Amino acid sequence: MKFKKFLFVVAVLALTAFTGQPPKKTKLQARVESLAEKVEPKVIEWRHHLHQNPELSNREYKTAEYIARHLRGLGIEVQTGVAKTGVVGILKGGKPGPVVALRADMDALPVPERVQLPWASKAKGEYNGAEVPVMHACGHDTHVAMLMGVAEVLTQVKDELPGTVKFIFQPAEEGAPDGEEGGARLMVKEGVLKNPDVDVIFGLHINSATPVGHIAYKPGATMAAANAFEITIKGKQTHGSQPWSGIDPIVTAAQIINNAQTIVSRNLPLIKEAAVVSFGAIHGGVRNNIIPEEVKMVGTIRALDDDMQKTIFSRLQTIVEKTAESNGAQAELVIKEGYPITYNDEQLTVKMLPTLKDVVGAQNVHEIPAITGAEDFSFFQQQVPGLYFFLGGMPPDTPRGQAPPHHTPDFYVDDSGMIYGVKAMSRLVVDYMTKK
């Protein structure tokens, strides 16, 4: 951080501490918040439309058309077909300055909706060859609606903006279908952060367990790197009554599962960061009295530190190979390319934290522990400094701890939380561009 910028942040914090109140809003800050309130009914309407018409990863065709039509109507330069179905809007301010990117993910999930809403989803889609129900079970409909609202707000003040805004509507955050590329990785590969070159990027995720009007964040490692793995164990098939005449891949699999649990508990410095090794499925055999020839297992690795992730990879490889060898079996481990750590740039977080506190009140902004969930926003953060935070979507009358989790049929976030997202993202752009 440049020394002058550091002094500015210190001055803001000192003034807030001395007066008990944040500094008075500038005319531009006040205007964008007022414009956000005026656009709120549209944001709710857009959210209901998107929720009723969800689309799966890399299949967000109608969603993309809906977004592009809105952006073009605002006079924003629009690019479509980015990373298959992504939409990018470029808004040039009236003065020279930095390029600030804002991102919203667009895809829904193969989940049936049980929430009783007038605008509930009844959509169907195809997922890896099977027909499935489709639902916005992670709140991406709100992300799109909020960013559409931010675009409308900032367009009305573009002559006062010293810089350029790049609106990134991203497909396939939940992962591309089998055999396809997609998501933030593909957007970066196709140059979404170039022409014009992005200086910083901001993103948010609405959260069903965080109360409306609250914001949660963490500097540094915020969400885990995630890698799927597959293990194939080959033994020797035999009759279940004579196990000594074969090589049992099921017993080998059981030992691998047990031994793998020592990686986190015995090989990692857990006082530094959290980590997870979980097995999600095991398949082998066809009947009770046949020891099969082969067993396959799949699982996930989560890490919040690069060195700890390397240790997990190395130890799991050793455990798989040596455990199989000790039983006379053969085993192959494949660790798939996954998402990197979602890492909030510390200097950017310090600089923009006063903005978040000013939008929702300092008492409603909370620093939280790291989360072992994953986010492909991390691919953007590998290229440019980024800040990713969580926005409250839990209705005020919901008891703590009883909000249905994300990725479930009962998932729900309230419309009333979106105004804070529109204000926060609009203010982050304005404040980043105008802070010296």
Give one DSSP letter per residue of 42-77, joined into a string: HHHHHHHHHHHS---TT--HHHHHHHHHHHHHTT-E
Q: Domain residue spans in the chain?
A: 22-222+341-434, 225-335
Instruction: Say what the pLDDT of residue 17 is.
Output: 46
**Rounded Cα distance, 422 and 436, in Å:** 23
Sign for the pseudo-dihedral over CA of 88, 111, 115, 406: negative
Q: Which of 33, 60, 107, 174 is catalytic?
A: 107
Instruction: Say what the pLDDT of residue 400 is.
Output: 84
Is 107 noted as a catalytic residue in this protein?
yes
pLDDT category at 60 given cuts 50, 70, 90 is very high
DSSP designation for 144:
H
Contact 436, 5 (CB under 8 A): yes
Per residue in 329-348, pLDDT (tens digit) is: 999 999 999 999 999 999 99
Contact 119, 142 (CB under 8 A): no
Region 158-185: mean pLDDT is 97
**Rounded Cα distance, 424 and 359, in Å:** 6
Pick the residue with more confidence: 344 or 22?
344
Answer yes or no: is pLDDT of 374 > 70.
yes
Class of domain 22-222+341-434: alpha beta
Question: Comparing 4-8, 42-46, 426-430, which segment has the lowest mean pLDDT?
Answer: 4-8
The pTM of the full predicted model, rounded to 2 decimals, is 0.91
Domains 22-222+341-434 and 225-335 belong to one CATH topology: no
pLDDT category at 21 given cuts 50, 70, 90 is low
Answer yes or no: is pLDDT of 3 > 80.
no
Reference 417, options 119, 218, 207, 153; nearest CA is: 207
At residue 26, the 3 state secondary structure works out as: coil
Answer yes or no: is pLDDT of 19 > 90.
no
**Rounded Cα distance, 173 and 107, in Å:** 7
Instruction: Say what the pLDDT of residue 5 is.
Output: 44
Answer yes or no: is pLDDT of 410 > 60.
yes
Instruction: Say what the pLDDT of residue 128 is.
Output: 86
Region 19-30: mean pLDDT is 80
25, two tokens: 């809003």
Reference 256, options 237, 274, 282, 275; nearest CA is: 282
Q: Which of 33, 173, 375, 414 is catalytic?
A: 173
Instruction: Say what the pLDDT of residue 308 is.
Output: 98
Answer yes or no: is pLDDT of 35 > 80.
yes
Answer yes or no: is pLDDT of 18 > 70.
no
Residue 309 CB partners (closer than 8 Å, separation 6+): 225, 227, 275, 301, 303
The separation between CA 141 and the C-alpha centre of its own chain, rounded to angstroms, equals 13
Pick the residue with more confidence: 54 or 14?
54
104, two tokens: 């919203």
Per residue in 275-320, pLDDT (tens digit) is: 999 999 999 999 999 999 999 999 999 999 999 999 999 999 999 9
Per residue in 262-273, pLDDT (tens digit) is: 999 999 999 999
Average pLDDT, the chain: 95
Contact 102, 173 (CB under 8 A): no
Instruction: Say what the pLDDT of residue 436 is.
Output: 67
Instruction: Say what the pLDDT of residue 426 is.
Output: 98
For 271-335, the DSSP string reads TT--EEEEEEEEEE-SSTTEE-SEEEEEEEEEESSHHHHHHHHHHHHHHHHHHHHHTT-EEEEEE
**Rounded Cα distance, 208 and 221, in Å:** 21
Instruction: Say what the pLDDT of residue 435 is.
Output: 86
**Rounded Cα distance, 340 and 183, in Å:** 13
- Confirm or reject CATH 3.40.50.300 for domain 225-335, answering yes or no: no
For 380-433, the DSSP string reads HHTTS-EEEEEEEEE-TTSPTT-SPPTTSTT----GGGHHHHHHHHHHHHHHHH
Is 181 noted as a catalytic residue in this protein?
no
**Rounded Cα distance, 91 and 165, in Å:** 5
pLDDT category at 402 given cuts 50, 70, 90 is very high
Share of the chain above pLDDT 70, in %: 95
Instruction: Say what the pLDDT of residue 23 is.
Output: 73
